[in-house]
Structure 1
């Protein structure tokens, strides 16, 4: 027997599903397109919330739930974070149908990369005492095999203004350790290449009460450099932070790496939300390495 033909003449494995036209006749590229139509190419909410019916083994109803966001993939990030989302309410929740993944082992192996590579996962931490690092670590524990496959992540971190109890969540006040741990957790995502994050903090205090502007700039944007796989990063922050120190001080931190594209946008402080459209936000597109 020709040794070069040995692999072709061996019997097919039990998980190859060669009796199925989907796997036997269609090439990998076409199957990927089909899987993308079924459960890929969407913005997916991930929210830690009570389950309306079922509790876990210890009686806790709160768990991570997912749903398809009403804002499509093409919706700018500024618009996504400009309004409240009700996509996971009982009346509007649209669960992502991934039943195809459980039809056979081959479908699971082929479909999992599509699910985690092609979707954008949106985590909203608003009005909660949970820190963003708690959310990331919780998701890592919930999906230890699959969470490292996520390529695109969006996070809206909104700290309630005028609430002194939230001071430990503001990085330049008392929340630096948790903020640094948050970026360390993101750095452990090996293929994360697109990150959008809104840091909607209370308005920046008076300048004489602030850290040195360079220290503040490094605190907020410096940790981005830990994410070695990033190719695109967008950060939204309250406008009072740029008005206190100047845009160039913030822009300079974005130019330290060698490739990809980063941008920072400034949002109004008084409403606690970003403007309704991107035209009212001051955007800086910063190619890395310049």
Structure 2
């Protein structure tokens, strides 16, 4: 019995999709452009928030949700953190359509790198009820295979003066362990090459001769040295921290954290405070209290 297949070229594997014009006729460079147009090159909000539909008996369970930011990816980071975003509200939320990568195995293999390499992921952490390191660890557990592929990350860490549990959050106010753990978690992202972070802490306290002086630039910027693959690092901090050290000292320390682009910017201290409730909401509460008292 002879083998009729002897001398023939091996048949195409199912994953090659040789019958598909997309994979058979277009080169990988053009396919990458198509994938980027479909679900890449955007700024994506990531937020741990109540789900409006999937609720349990207790109430709305919090889940990680994403939404396409209304700001283009080229928007300066200072403008992104300066305004309030409503991209995750029910009326304005736009989910990223990634259905293309689930059409076949090859689309998945080629689309996943585009999804996590070309998009910028923005995490906003406001208040003291949840540590930023908890956000990072939670996302790592949520997508353990794909989290290491993220190349560009933006973080807005916003603390108000009146927040409770401040000692567990602010490095110079007893929260150094949580701050160090936060940077350790970022150091475990091997592909992270672009980081923009706003450390909007409470205003820097005035110098006190009775307490030991803290090296504020090293305290806040020193841990960035653990991220050895950063090509771009942009840090925004409240202006009051310039009272602790000069502009040159802050810039000099940041420049020592590695090669590539390094930039530090300063924002008004009132930008680091949670905005007050609207007047209409406040008035509604006053009216409700008056009605209950009568």
What is aligned with 1:212? 213
**What residue in structure 2 maps to residue 51 of structure 1?**
51
Say if 2:236 and 2:264, in contact at 8 Å, map to a contact too: yes
Once the two structures are superposed, the pairs formed by residues 53-68 of structure 1 within 5 Å of their partners are: 53-55=53-55, 61-68=61-68
* Alignment partners' CA distance in 1, 2:164 and 2:113: 43
Residue deviations 1:135-182 (CA, integer Å, cap 9, x gap): 000000001000000000000000121334323210111111111011
Deviation at 1:58? 10
- Between the aligned partners of 1:57 and 1:99, the Cα distance in structure 2 is 31
| TM-superposition CA deviations, 1:213-271 (whole Å, max 9, x none) | 5x321110011111011000000011000133211221221222552011101111134
Q: State whether residues 129 and 166 of structure 1, in contact with CA within 8 Å, keep that contact through their aligned partners in structure 2.
A: no
What corresponds to 1:10 in structure 2? 10
With normalisation by structure 1, the TM-score equals 0.87
TM-score normalised according to structure 2 size: 0.86
Any idea what the Cα deviations from partners look like across 1:1-21, whole Å, max 9, x if unmatched? xxxxx9x92222111111110
User: Offset at 1:110?
Assistant: 0.4
Equivalent position SS for 2:208 = helix
CA contact (8 A) 2:225 2:258 kept: no
Alignment of 1:118-267 (within 5 A): 118-208=118-208, 212-213=213-214, 215-267=215-267
Label 1:194 to 1:267 Cα distance change in 2 as closer, same or farther (>3 A).
same
Q: Secondary structure at the match of 1:270?
A: helix
Segments of structure 2 that go 5 or more residues without pairing to the other structure are 1-5, 274-294
Q: Which residue of 2 aligns with 1:81?
A: 81
- Corresponding residue for residue 283 of structure 1: none
Report the CA distance between 1:127 and its aligned residue: 2.4
- Pair member with larger Rg: 2
1:69 CA drift (Å): 0.2
How far, CA to CA, are the matches of 2:217 and 2:212 in structure 1?
Answer: 9
Cα separation, partners in 2 of 1:60 and 1:140, compared to 1, 3 Å: farther
Residue aligning to 2:70 = 70
